Amino acid sequence: MKISVVIVNYNVQYFLEQCLLSVFNACNGLDAEVFVVDNNSPDGSVEMVRKKFPHAQLIANGDNKGFSAANNQAIRMAKGEYILLLNPDTVVEEDTFRKTCSFMDEHPDAGALGVQMIDGKGNFLPESKRGLPKPDVAFYKIFGLSALFPKSKLFGRYHLGFLDKNEVHKVDVLSGAFMLLRKSALDKTGLLDEDYFMYGEDIDLSYRIQKAGYHNYYFPHTRIIHYKGESTKKSSINYVFVFYRAMVIFARKHFAKGNAQLFSVLINIAIYIRAGAAILKRLSDRLLLPLLDALLIFISMYFLKNYWEFTVKDVHYPPLFMNVVVPLYIVTWLSSAFLSGGYDKPVRLSSLIRGVLSGAVFILVVYALLPETYRFSRALILLGTVIACIITCTLRILFHVSGYIKLAGTQQRRLIIVGDEEETQRILSLLQMSGTTSSFIGYVDPTSGDGSKGQLKDFYLGNSETLSDIVSLYEANEVIFCSRELSSQQIIQQMLQTSRMDVEYKIAPPESLYIIGSNSINEQGTLYFVDLHSIQQPANKRNKRILDIATSLVMLLFSPVLILLQSNKGGFLVNIYKVLSGKCSWVGLASTTSNLKKGILSPADGYPQVTIGVKQRLEALYAKEYRTSNDFRIILRSLNQLGRNPF
């Protein structure tokens, strides 16, 4: 057997399906086998592989064994002359395996090979080739010198920016996202080191391959899409700790004692710097606007109160008004704005104003119920509401102009679909059902057809040979490729040709209810997909979280009674903590969608003898037509199950 492809998956069902479609296309004409090792994903990945890719050899783990251990499970079973470690969030070209195996055949000194990787916007990923992270190299990387001087032979050694990305090179380190290994080299070096749970194992293995007398090659004559490039993870605090701790493990294993200690010091400095920056960024993203809103409204209310006291009304308000009452007004206005979606991104000024006005109504109702002593002024409430609306809207407009945030509707998505008329109509219907507001410009036929006779003839723009000109002419900023008519190689080539036009690319697999791609590689969690699940909408996610917190507090209040109903009494209290801390939700999904928290209960709970098929249909309906009232009903009919382990 020529090649064994090993894909370790955890909770990325949509990416995995797209990856496997490209992998099996690339296996045509080769004696190949494909392994999928699933690390106990709760998103339905295992069921999807069994249903759509029966020829894949599936290893379904009962727990998350980590990247190294999961890869080793498949490697021990593999029969191929070459073994490919491949991430599930990748798309390979149809000739990728053939070209890379041929290169390895022609270069017996090659122990491992990596390829040119691009992100979801067609940009080259520098982690395609890397240098060994020695203390000096790590120092330049940690303190930003490698980013300031990427092509320097002194400072740019981490990503080897001084090497031409379009030429073959011998390099120190390859990325585990695509790592083609010679089986005989693995027999000498040993398998992946399971001391690394995630990250660092590719550096360790690359280094051991070199020590065994082989070379690692960077091979740019075939390309892959890697959606979650290294820069997507920089804002993750967990990534900072896991990745840099992995570097410490590597240093202790392979560096001399003195160098290892120096490296550990640098890594610990990096951890505090990067973790601190990540925390500050997260706090800034979440709290900057509310704090500025509150501060500016409070200052405005102070001057309004003074003006009202001495100019309009000859009255004096006690310190209680500014110290207690006004802060309560502000909390009410902004809390109501939050519940109305005023802090969702992109920002909708209408949601913000609606929220502030709703808060004002609540304040006035409470005001009417208060004793005369605490009724200070309805006029100040009304004027304060107007001021709150003006300040919050003005602040967001200024932030929008500065580029810090985006206002909804200010950047119209101009969409082009690359596919035949039938697939274009299918994609348009998906976009319409999912509520996407992109403006459809037209479609580009991937063949040489003229598109002048179909129902969408007025939207025909040309064929894919002139896609870059069409994108430029119509100033399109979103392109969806239909992979039924286009090969992965064609898609990647088109992305590279238009990668400098600030275009977002997405791929629509045939017969699937989603479109997947990457809006940005700079932040974690910006991976984009369109499906029919209303549960993914920001407002529903927020409402679900509010319901979780409210029900948890009620359960905590009545826990002396509710705990008597539970078979696992200790688990009930633990679950309340998990839900309050945001680790779990009271109601979750086992198989129909990803990117959701683990659930204690399922939509199928409370119904005896439910088959797997019925359970999946109930979950699909729950996700598609989500209502917080559904969560409430599921909790009520499953009160004796609240102590069980989350799934």
Other C-beta atoms lying within 10 Å of the C-beta of residue 380: 21
Buried b / exposed e along 36-68 (16+ C-beta atoms within 10 A): bbbbebbbbbbbbbeeebeebbbbbbeebbbbb
Mean of pLDDT values over 133-149:
76
pLDDT of residue 34: 97
Beta strand pairing call for 178-182 and 169-171: unpaired
Instruction: Give residue-wise pLDDT tens across range 461-473.
Output: 888 888 888 988 8
Rounded Cα distance, 474 and 107, in Å = 47
**Poorest-confidence range of 214-218, 376-380, 593-597?**
593-597
pLDDT at position 450 over 60:
yes
Instruction: Give residue-wise pLDDT tens across range 34-51.
Output: 999 999 887 778 988 999
pLDDT at position 531 over 60:
no
| Of 450, 503, 451, nearest in space to 481 by CA | 503
Rounded Cα distance, 350 and 392, in Å = 11
pLDDT of residue 469: 87
| Of 631, 524, 538, 637, nearest in space to 584 by CA | 631
pLDDT band at 521 (very low <50, low <70, confident <90, very high): very low
Scan for tokens 């309340």, then name that residue.
Answer: 576
Helices 326-339, 349-369: inter-axial angle, 10-degree rounding: 130
**How many Cα atoms within 13 Å fall on the side-chain side of residue 332?**
20
Mean of pLDDT values over 511-537:
56
- Averaged pLDDT of the chain: 84
Q: Identify which has the larger pLDDT, 126 or 512.
A: 126
pLDDT at position 532 over 70:
no
pLDDT at position 76 over 90:
yes
Instruction: Give residue-wise pLDDT tens across range 543-570.
Output: 898 899 999 999 999 999 999 889 898 8
**Domains of the chain in sequence order:** 3-129+165-228 (3.90.550.10), 284-401 (no CATH), 414-532 (3.40.50.720), 535-641 (no CATH)
